[in-house]
Amino acid sequence: MSGRGDDRSLTVKVKKKRGVKASSRRWLERQLNDPYVRRAKADGYRSRAAYKLIEMDDRYKLLKPGLRIVDLGAAPGGWCQVAVERTGSSGDDIRVVGIDYLVVEPVPGATILELDFLDDTAPARLLETLGGDPDIVLSDLAAPTTGHRQTDHLRTMHLCEVAADFALRTLKPGGHFLAKTFQGGTERDLLNLLKQNFVSVHHVKPPASREGSVELYLLAKSFKGKRLPAAASESDDETAGSQV
């Protein structure tokens, strides 16, 4: 990434303040000194997460003009922005539809549903809004953290599985599925299911993913076309999360 050397030289320190936790101060320092955060502000992206998708798409050439895209866990909208740019989606021909239970500011060229993806009505709403079956299902879903690492891990892995189920029910033949997972955390049954239904399955760690983070992405390419029965994914009490 151009300019990273200059970014590293501009180290910002946050002064200690009474009543402010050390962990909060460290988080703020990390944000202020993160070159991807700075670049996102300069380039007009909603979050640093946009560069994760950009880097993965540059490598695997997923997003192409005219494709229909579903973005699960769209807030704050960075992945939708990238998808709009690379598919040519516009207000006259919407090709990108996102969903999140959080409020997302409008993204020109995309439609974003304010709805929990685990809601029983979500799959049908997404397809109706998209106007057809997706060519690509993107998921940056992450469960709200509880502070208990194993619990958070299991909740986010569940979201990955639900996203995969949606992809297997809706993707066009030849389509792709890209979803957040965790290192060492992808269930064997899920991997086997994807390998049976896609030509290739990869684990990807884009450079924009923070050093030391256990997150990585699961990329299943070229759907073979054997869909699961068309039915809405089961819902539970958990809520689907957002981009970080």
Round to whole Å and give the CA distance between 53 and 66.
18
Nearest to 117, CA basis, from 181, 74, 180 = 74
- Residue 86's pLDDT is 98
Q: Which residues are annotated as a binding site for S-adenosyl-L-methionine?
A: 77, 79, 100, 116, 140
Phi, psi (rounded to 5 degrees) for 220: -110, 120
- Residue 212's pLDDT is 75
Q: Are 144 and 120 in contact (CB under 8 A)?
A: no
- Residue 8's pLDDT is 43
Please state the pTM of the whole predicted model: 0.81
- Residue 235's pLDDT is 37
Round to whole Å and give the CA distance between 103 and 234.
23
In the sheet that 176-182 helps form, which strands lie side by side, from edge to edge? 110-114, 96-100, 69-72, 136-139, 176-182, 215-223, 198-204
Q: Which residues are annotated as a binding site?
A: 77, 79, 100, 116, 140
Phi, psi (rounded to 5 degrees) for 217: -120, 145
Walk along the chain (244 residues) and give the pLDDT tens digit of each residue. Answer: 333 334 444 454 444 555 545 444 444 455 555 688 888 888 899 999 999 999 999 999 999 999 999 999 999 999 999 999 999 999 999 999 999 999 999 999 999 999 999 999 999 999 999 999 999 999 999 887 777 777 777 888 899 999 999 999 999 999 999 999 887 666 788 999 999 999 999 999 999 987 777 888 999 999 999 776 654 434 333 434 445 4
User: Which amino acid is residue 194, in one-letter code?
Assistant: L
Positions marked catalytic: 180
Q: Which residues contact 81 (CB under 8 A, 6 or more apart)?
A: 44, 45, 46, 50, 107, 110
- Domains observed in the chain: 4-33 (no CATH), 47-223 (3.40.50.150)
Nearest to 197, CA basis, from 187, 189, 186, 185 = 189
